[in-house]
Amino acid sequence: LSQGHFPASQRFRSRRQMSRLEPPRSARSSFYRPAMGSSRADVDLAPSRSAVKEAGMPLWLSMTLGDSAILSALEQVDEWDFDVFALDRVSDHRPIVVGGIFMIRSLGLVQKLKLPMEELVNFLVAIEAGYIPTNPFHNAVHAADVMFTLRYFLQRPFFSNLLAPLDVLAALLAALSHDFAHPGVSNTFLINARTDEAILYNDQSVLEMFHAAGTFRVMLSKPGCDLTKSFTREQFLQLRETMIAMILSTDMKYHFQHLNRMRERMATDKYATVQRKDVVFLLGQALHAADISNPTKPRALQLQWTERVMTEFFLQGDYEKALHLPVSAFMDRDKPAIAQCQIGFISVLVKPLYVEMRNLLGEGLQIPVDTVQCNLNDWETEGDGMCRGWELLRAANLPDVTA
């Protein structure tokens, strides 16, 4: 294998779903499972659970949304400690379709934007199918969790008074598709391995470009998935612009640049007046905050997510070793430093962003700020003892990709 290139049968492809190097069953861990615009203030961001079935909704989905186990799992949807893993289990591993339709429908967006239910369902089914279920972290459950977390931000008065229904729809769809077809490896890996996607996107926000492009390819090219078919040209362009900007904002390379921009504005007028560019920017910040929200959740949820992300990190490190590429920081299972990784992640990246989000959105964000500090204290006190019982430190028996 020359300079880290994949054999033709195992390379990521830009014209089809990227199929990641799937670990053998011995390395899958317990995370593996088989695949399966109007006025600003006229959208109520508190979901109504009494919404009725719209025409075009398939029978299976209508029955699922009315199931008592689903309704029970969604009871805490307004709370910061909402358990998306419970929804994934009771929805037969369809958290994007079930969670997405529940939220879009209950916020009244179907009626306000005249969304065609059949195309909306088809789109979400296709997006969910595009996520790779063998990814321990970057999968449909993560996407659904990000959507529910983002909606928690959007129901704060600052956003609820600012956003039009089209903005809310764009935000929810961006959250659900922000990691569409994620291969389970980072931008650095794709660039170092010289994949087709890195070449296509010139090493710039490779994954984020890929997710956004793939999302709109599904919407506009897959039969029966164009949920914008009744939109005006202006509505479609606004939806597309907002979704793309939001997805690109999840690239960690923009974290400090965007955080400093937000701090400077908060130190002046605290967004007392906003332009369209401010709305799009703040939606991007909200999605980015939701994307890295795992350490702000209660300890039990936080540890589930941490085990998943570190499992995926170590798998990437295994592939980097096999391809003779530099092993990325904190991704070497032979030199585990999980507590150190989490302490740095929380103290340098997550906590400062959430402090600014609280300053912007108010007391509703005090819960995650307090929780992330508790989790940071636990990592500093208990160290890698927090990971007791995890199986992720075992070496993966990976396929030979060096021949």
For residue 394, what pLDDT band results from cuts at 50, 70 and 90? low
For residue 248, what pLDDT band results from cuts at 50, 70 and 90? very high
pLDDT at position 86, please? 98
Least confident range from 61-70, 154-163, 269-278, 391-400: namely: 391-400
The residues near 310 (Cβ < 8 Å, ≥ 6 apart) are 330, 338, 341, 387, 390, 392
pLDDT tens digits, 288-306: 999 999 999 999 999 999 9
**Residue 204 predicted with pLDDT over 50:** yes
**Residue 186 predicted with pLDDT over 50:** yes
Alpha-carbon distance of 375 to 373, in angstroms, equals 5
Alpha-carbon distance of 282 to 352, in angstroms, equals 16
pLDDT at position 236, please? 98
Alpha-carbon distance of 197 to 207, in angstroms, equals 8
Q: Which long-range contacts (CB under 8 A, 24 or more apart) does 338-344 make?
A: 338/306, 338/310, 338/384, 338/386, 338/387, 339/379, 339/380, 339/382, 339/383, 339/384, 339/386, 339/387, 341/310, 342/295, 342/306, 342/375, 342/379, 342/386, 343/376, 343/379, 343/380
For residue 45, what pLDDT band results from cuts at 50, 70 and 90? low
As annotated, the active-site residues are 138
Other CB atoms within 10 Å distance of the CB of residue 81: 11
Other CB atoms within 10 Å distance of the CB of residue 199: 13
The percentage of residues in the chain with a pLDDT greater than 70, rounded to a whole number, is 84
pLDDT at position 55, please? 76
**Residue 28 predicted with pLDDT over 50:** no
Q: How large is the angle between the packed helices 206-221 and 117-130, nearest 10 degrees?
A: 140
pLDDT at position 391, please? 82
pLDDT at position 389, please? 86
For residue 52, what pLDDT band results from cuts at 50, 70 and 90? very low
Start-end of H helices in 21-156: 59-65, 68-73, 84-90, 95-106, 109-113, 117-130, 140-154
